[in-house]
Every structure is written in C-alpha cells, then in structure tokens.
A and B are shown apart, each in its own frame.
Chain A
C-alpha cells in the first residue's frame, strides 16, 4: 500500500510537468493552428537556463525561476517572429514541417552549447524521504506538484481574468471576429507562443531535479506532452492537465509492474491506440467523421 502511494505521488509529480508541456501544445494548437514539433525544446531550454542561473551563477532559486521564464518568453517571441510568422498564410502542413526544422536546429544548438553531458540539477528540498503519517514522502516531488498546480492555476486565471488572456481566447475562438474587435491577431499569436514557451520552460526547470538534464530531454518530453494533450483532447485546457496526470501515473505503474525498459513503448502504444480510436481525446465524444 505504501509503495503504491509513493508511486502515485511520483507519477503525479512527473505527470504535472507533462501537463505544463501539454498546456503549451494545446494553446498553440487552438490559437495558432500549429502543432509545434519544437515545443519540447522549450522544455530543454527551461532546464538549461535554470541550470545556468541556479547552479553555475549560484543565483537564488526564485530569481532563477523568474529569469528562466522571462528568457523563455523572449526566446519564444524571437522564434515565432523568425520561423513561424512567415508561414501563417501557408498550409498548416508547412508550418508543421517548419517546426520540425526548428526542433532540429534548437536541439543541436543545445547539444553544441552544453556538450552531450548529463547535468545534475540540485533538488530544492533534498531527496531524503520524510515520514508523513506512516508514509514516506519525498518533499521534492511534493514541491514539483505544488509548483505545477500553482502555475496551472495562475495560467487559468491569466486566461480568464486579464485583458490579454481574454484576447488570446478570442483569437483562439475566431481570429477574424477578434481582429474586428481591435485585437491584433498577430501580436496575440506571438504572445501565445511566448506564454506556451514560458510554461514549457517552467516544466523543464521543475522536471530537472527529478532526472538528469540532457540536450535531448526535450524530444521525449515533448512527445509525452503531446500524448497528454491527445489523451485529454487537443485544444482543451483541463484535458491537457488531466492527460498529464494520467500519463504520469500510467508510466509509473508501467515501470514498476510491467517493464521499466519498455515503459515508453507502452506510452507510445497508448498514443497510437488513442489516435486510432478516439482522436478527439478520451473525454470528448468525437463526431462521426463523414468524408
């Protein structure tokens, strides 16, 4: 029983970071009609900038967080301007292929800048388990869950309450009408890209203490983020969050009860099955497609 609870907590903490990545995917898909293959790279970006600030420059954690998210936002704006913006009028397929090119460039950039070395990010609260009511809990994992939930809550409030968040939702719903209401659609798309990159970066810096920081962590976590977004129904924000937790748990139980070697194979199998059976996500009944 105890190990099960520990596994649930670990699964949720990993899943929380997936949720943050999935949120970015969903946002970009809704507002920009872009399935961003390079989104996983924002995850790596966050982890490395966090590592640079916190470990090498020895800045306090909170400041590293702020710098990381700010830097990710700025880089997001630049990337959007250089590679994504020229293609808004092109078919979405071209945009997707462009994002593949982007992912190649970014991943190799990290590879060259950091060398193919696995870095250790120091845990914020230590990895020694603490006994809480007879169950030993790793505080680091609770911290990750807490921060992720806080970020998700903040993000939801941002979308609901602020002017910019409302404008983003308007653009996601109907860009043409939004533009009639005086919303600059282009600027909003760029902001959506920036915000989702910030969320990805935050996920990266959160995930960093749970595993090692390597240049290719973004590929795997990006795909897992996508699996979560698909599980919950792409474009849906609560769906992305739930999908993240779900995948985190599935992975954890897989690796402890079925096979740790093939745990990713099983996650990918789930993706394939969901895409084949319920492409609109587990929570949404897909309308019968008539072609």
Chain B
C-alpha cells in the first residue's frame, strides 16, 4: 500500500492550534495564562455536553452541578491528603455516579422535559452546596486546597498547571473524537437523527442516551476537579444554574454537531468574558444576545461559519455573474 501524502487543512489547523497553545505561556502574563487554563477546563465540560446534546439531540441544563460535584469531591479528598490523580479520577466517578442517579429516571423523558429536570437538579444541587455547611463549607466555600501534583512534581505555578490542563483537554478531545467515530458515536447520531429508526435497527436508545449522559457528567466532574485545583478555592457561586446555562451556551455557540464545537465555544466564551469584564453585568446580556443571534442566523454554531460563508459567497457569485456567461 502506498501512503498518500495529501495536504489536509484540518490536520494543519490542529497542529497550528497545538503549537500556538504550547507557545502561549511564554507570550502572556500569568493572569492571561490563568484565563487560558480556565478555557481549557471549560472546554472539557463543554465537550461532554456536546457529546450528549449534539449527538443525541437532548438538552441538559445541569452541567454546572456535575462540575460542582467534581470540584467539591476533589477539594474534600485533596484536603484529606489523597493524591491528585486519585482525587481527579474520583471526582469524575462521583459525578458520573450522580449522573446515573439523575439520568436513570430522567432520561425516560426527552428534550424539554429532560432540560427542565436537569435544571431542577442543578438548582437543588446549588441549594445543597450552599446549605450543607459541614461538608461543603457553606456559602463561603472551601479554601486551602493543595496544589495538584503527580508524584514528586507539583503543578503549583500557573504555567505548569496550564500545561497539565491542556494535556488533559487534548486527551479528552482526542478520545471524544475517536468516540464519535466509533460504533457508539454512530449509534448516538442515529438516535439524534431519528430515534424510531434507530430503535428499529436494534440501537438501544435509552441505554445509549444514559451512557452518553454518564460520559457527559464524568467529563464535567474531571473538569470540576481541575477547576478546584486552579484557584485552590471552591465556592457555590461557581456552580449555579446560571453557570449551567453558560455551559449550554458555550456548547450551542460553538456548534453542537462537531466535537470541536465545545472547544471553540468554551475558548470564545472565556476570552469574551475576560474582555468584557469591565462591562460587568452587561456581559451576560451580550452573551444572551449572541445566543439568540446565533440560533437565528447560524443554527449550527460557529463551527459551521466557514461553510456558511462559502455558501454565501457562491450565492453572491451566481447572482453577479450574467446569465449564460458562465
């Protein structure tokens, strides 16, 4: 077999993005590095949402609750002296377990009903984070979480932590990409396209939706763990339903049908959020307005922007060229 060396724009873009991300910490001050780290953390949680929402066509407005469960699990375990790797995995597993408890009954319902059920779960979790003072530290949250460390190496600086987060993000994205190309991903897509047809082809709709919900909450959990070790503080205001809505907006704005959508949405959101910090509360208005605008004019998210532009340009060309002139 002769390997063909065709130039691929996609591969080029991925390599370029990786190089830029690897070089960033040298070009930016620590504060900016922290913002990009946050973007990577959000990208993990949003990728989970993209997998669940985009492929099966469901809605979840409870992502911040799983994010919070992961963050608190990691915080509590790390403070008890458990090494980072274990608490990192534990927070994903605990979040997935909570996902099982919520998803098992709720996934019988679909779309809107599921959205409202997950929203209710998120609101309930916020109340629990705030009021279960013995475990979560109440409204003021928990501080003094030790820095993440693997073996003798400690990720206590912004730059080293940046690399740790982005390596995990890249791994998650790669695995998610492989997942969408697998039988599992195809089954999810079939459910999203037409559930009845998928069932008739013996795709167990409920089971697959449940598994994808578990993956979604697992990713939110590990993202939460990374978040807890970023500022080494967790407080309930980071895990409210507003945050869930932000996660949802990230996924939708980035584009639900592509696995890169979560990354793009999360990065754009975090960067816009930083730029608009001076606007304070108006920031949410901009984001909400953007959401409305995109749903109306670019319903498949920013990922579909090049495609849309291509269509527009070819349409314009056809209009300007004289009939018969070709």
| Main SS class of interface, B | helix
Q: Does B57 lie within 8 Å of A101, measured CB to CB?
A: no
Given A103-B288, A104-B245, A219-B241, A276 and B109 contact (CB-CB distance below 8 Å): yes
CA distance A265 to B132 in the complex (A): 13
* Given A87-B296, A109-B285, A264-B124, A93 and B111 contact (CB-CB distance below 8 Å): yes
Query: Given A105-B288, A265-B128 in contact, is the A275-B123 Cβ separation under 8 Å?
Result: no
Is B228 interfacial (CB 8 A cutoff)? no
Query: A97-B295, A275-B117 are known contacts. Are A104 and B127 too (CB-CB below 8 A)?
Result: no
Instruction: Kindly state whether residue B292 has any CB partner on chain A within 8 Å.
Output: yes
Interface of A is mostly: helix
Docked complex: A226-277 residues within 8 A CB-CB of B: 226-227, 230, 261-262, 264-265, 267-269, 271-273, 275-277
User: Hey, which chain A residues are within 8 Å of B289, CB to CB?
Assistant: 101, 105
Query: Which residues of B lie under 8 Å from residue A98 when comparing CB positions?
Result: 291-292, 295-296
Q: Quick check: is A35 within 8 A (CB to CB) of the other chain?
A: yes
Among A102, A269, A271, A277, the residue within 8 A (CB) of B116 is A271
* B102: interface (CB < 8 Å): yes
Partner of B120, one of A83, A104, A268: A268
B205 at the interface (CB under 8 A from A): yes
Which of A100, A103, A112 sits near B281, CB closer than 8 Å?
A112
Which residues of B have CB within 8 Å of A273? 105
User: Are A264 and B127 in contact (CB-based, < 8 A)?
Assistant: yes
- A sample of 29 cross-chain residue pairs with beta-carbon separation below 8 angstroms, ordered by A number, consists of A83-B296, A87-B295, A92-B112, A98-B291, A98-B295, A100-B248, A100-B291, A102-B288, A104-B249, A104-B288, A105-B285, A108-B288, A112-B282, A220-B123, A261-B131, A262-B128, A265-B124, A268-B120, A269-B124, A272-B106, A272-B117, A272-B121, A275-B105, A275-B114, A276-B106, A276-B109, A276-B117, A277-B105, A291-B196
Extra contacts, 5 of them, besides A98-B296, A104-B245 (Cβ < 8 A), are A101-B249, A112-B285, A262-B128, A275-B114, A291-B196
Q: 10 closest Cβ contacts across the A-B interface? A: A104-B288, A101-B291, A276-B105, A268-B120, A105-B288, A101-B292, A35-B112, A108-B284, A268-B124, A265-B124
